[in-house]
Amino acid sequence: MKLKARNRIVTAALVLLLLLVVFGALLSGAPPARAAEAFTLTVRSAPVGMATDHERSRYWLLDKASGRLSLTALGADGAVQGHMTSRDTLVNATGLAYDAGELYVGDVGGERPEVTVYQVMEPWPATDILKAVPFVLTYPDGVHVGTAILLDRDGRLYVVTGGDAPGIYAAPVAPSSSEPNVLERVGDAPAGTTDATVLRDGRWVVRTATTLVTLDATTHEPIGEVEIGVEETGQVLAQGLADDTVLTAMGPGGLVTSTEIPGPAPTATPAPARTRAAAPRPVVAEAEDDTATFEQTGTTFAVGAAVAVAALAGLVVLVRR
């Protein structure tokens, strides 16, 4: 092989290598593909509530049962996106729900005749909760120990209780934030329930320390059951970003476990989820850290395409010489 031809081949190979390096550098700033449902929490203590924002591929954690209301936002891979705090003081919180762009914090734990659920409007990482809206809920039959809260597909609020006669209590369809609301017992709850969630297809799932139980949304009767299979210190539950899984937390080392939803899926197509128009969010400047991610913009793509075209043109010229 002549020296000139060999030089052309070597140069062409170097151009191709440069092209690959440039594209690799550009794509490294793109957001990662959605991680597997199971991930590890890096929080200091087990959360007392967990909820899922499917629209933004985000999870929310209720950090502690008492003291200042504190929430943590996580990405699909479990990386912390930011925190929210409020001046509202919790007594014994033990539940978190997400519905139509709003979070609901269930301060329902402990033995008491009435409980409070706080509505957090338009939650967003790294912002303050200016004012959470309180809904005071009164049991119709005395003192109970609340263990979880739910919001059904119509936005109606429920409290799940434990004790000797575990039950499901429904709040009024349009509860008042200025005076107490009387709950109505609508069914029995599985014994030992520690958390609950409503799936996007309308089914309910509750958990105990060791078991997941799917309930029919209308009758509240069990239609499926499965063992969690992991010994967990925290006992929270949320639907996964994948509609066929639920997440439980937290296991050894902060592990979040993904489990397929037990029981048959609904045969009818569920009604669309309730939504509300979100107000524009403020731009919050945050210090860069290892968990920060950045979206790939159209400008980045255009630059990458231009570099690729230029490199390819150079390669063609070299080969033709």
Distance (Å, rounded) from C-alpha 116 to C-alpha 196? 17
Are the CB atoms for 256 and 273 separated by under 8 Å? no
CA-closest candidate to residue 201, choices 260, 150, 153: 153
Q: How confident is the model at residue 45 (pLDDT cuts 50, 70, 90)?
A: confident
- What's the predicted TM-score (pTM) here? 0.74
DSSP assignment letter at 34: P
Q: How confident is the model at residue 273 (pLDDT cuts 50, 70, 90)?
A: low
Statement: residue 280 has pLDDT above 80: no
DSSP assignment letter at 164: S
At 122-141, the pLDDT tens digits run 999 999 998 899 999 999 99
Distance (Å, rounded) from C-alpha 186 to C-alpha 266? 21
Helices (H), 28-68: none
Distance (Å, rounded) from C-alpha 122 to C-alpha 118? 13
What is the arithmetic mean of pLDDT over 295-306? 39
Are the CB atoms for 159 and 183 separated by under 8 Å? yes
> In this predicted structure, which of 33-42, 85-94, 224-233 has the lowest mean pLDDT?
33-42
What per-residue confidence (pLDDT) applies to 36?
A: 45
The first and second tokens of residue 33, run together, are: 């593909």
Exposed/middle/buried for 145, CB within 10 Å: 0-12, 13-18, 19+? middle
Handedness of CA 118, 245, 253, 236 (dihedral sign): positive
Cα 168 to the center of its chain, rounded Å: 24
Geometric angle at alpha carbon 97, from 95 and 100, rounded to 5°? 165
Per the DSSP assignment, residues forming a β-bridge with 146 are 161
What is the arithmetic mean of pLDDT over 217-227? 95
Distance (Å, rounded) from C-alpha 26 to C-alpha 35? 21
* Per-position DSSP letters for 214-273, written without gaps between them: EE-TTT--EEEEEE--S--SS-EEEE-SSTTEEEEE--GGGEEEEEEPPSPPPSSPPPPP
What per-residue confidence (pLDDT) applies to 285?
A: 41
